[in-house]
A and B are shown apart, each in its own frame.
Chain A
Amino acid sequence: NAGVMQNPRHLVRRRGQEARLRCSPMKGHSHVYWYRQLPEEGLKFMVYLQKENIIDESGMPKERFSAEFPKEGPSILRIQQVVRGDSAAYFCASSPTGYSNQPQHFGDGTRLSIL
């Protein structure tokens, strides 16, 4: 499967726990974007990463959220001490370059539910 792979597809956490969402970009893509979709909303940009670098994290909440894209392995979006408002669908997208003249390709998302 050459597409963007996200896991888990569904994640249930209790308030105060940590959530880890993983994203493997398409083969040959070194640029990864995370978006969040709240119910009845469009996708909102969170963070843009290249291998080992955070390029733009202006869409990330200031606290509890972090992201990384290590040299080896998938990109990780981490949410510490989750709260009910974190319940959403989290989508990862990848592209071969960081320029906006190429479409981004999305994974099927991780649906995070907070009890």
Chain B
Amino acid sequence: DQQVKQNSPSLSVQEGRISILNCDYTNSMFDYFLWYKKYPAEGPTFLISISSIKDKNEDGRFTVFLNKSAKHLSLHIVPSQPGDSAVYFCAVADRGSTLGRLYFGRGTQLTVWP
């Protein structure tokens, strides 16, 4: 029973272009959403987050968009750089819970080519 889905296992983008990574969730209780980036043989690194009271959060080249009615979020990276090549995980949480667990998608492998 997967509560968080990243339907694209891979994405290939040319340097300088926009990368758009997508994520869908099933449970309307989730109200805090995060993106993590992971390089091989390393742990996930926090990238950006958004709470359900907002529909957009921007940090430099990274922007996360949230569509609550569609239970969908996306991460936009612009312009994409070769160093952005990594696996990107979407994670969600229920802020009302004190248990703090995160639910992760399976990840999308982003490759940015020169």
- B101 x A101 contact (CB < 8 A): no
Q: Is the interface of B mostly helix, strand, loop or mixed?
A: loop
Checking B6, B32, B43, B49 against A4 with a beta-carbon cut-off of 8 angstroms, the contacting residue is B43
- A43 x B46 contact (CB < 8 A): no
- A43 x B95 contact (CB < 8 A): no
Contacts of A111 in B (CB 8 A): 41
Which of B4, B36, B44, B107 has the most chain A CB atoms inside 10 A of its CB?
B44
Q: Is B84 an interface residue (CB 8 A)?
A: no
Q: Which of A81-115 contact B (CB under 8 A)?
A: 91, 93, 95, 97-101, 103-109, 111
Shortest CB-to-CB span from A101 to chain B, Å, is 5
Shortest CB-to-CB span from B46 to chain A, Å, is 4
Whole-angstrom distance between the alpha carbons of A99 and B100 in the complex?
5
User: Considering only CB atoms and an 8 Å cut-off, how many residues of chain A contact the other chain?
Assistant: 31
Shortest CB-to-CB span from A6 to chain B, Å, is 8
Q: Is A64 an interface residue (CB 8 A)?
A: no
Whole-angstrom distance between the alpha carbons of A59 and B99 in the complex?
12
Closest chain B residue, CB of each to CB of A45: B101
Q: Is B59 an interface residue (CB 8 A)?
A: no
Q: Is A27 an interface residue (CB 8 A)?
A: no
Which of B34, B95, B97, B99 has the most chain A CB atoms inside 10 A of its CB?
B99
Instruction: Tell whether A101 pairs with B104 under 8 Å between CB atoms, given A106-B45, A107-B43, A108-B41.
Output: no
- A101 x B32 contact (CB < 8 A): yes
Whole-angstrom distance between the alpha carbons of A32 and B60 in the complex?
30
Which 8 residue pairs spanning A and B have beta carbons closest together? A100-B93, A106-B43, A42-B104, A103-B46, A45-B101, A42-B106, A43-B104, A108-B43
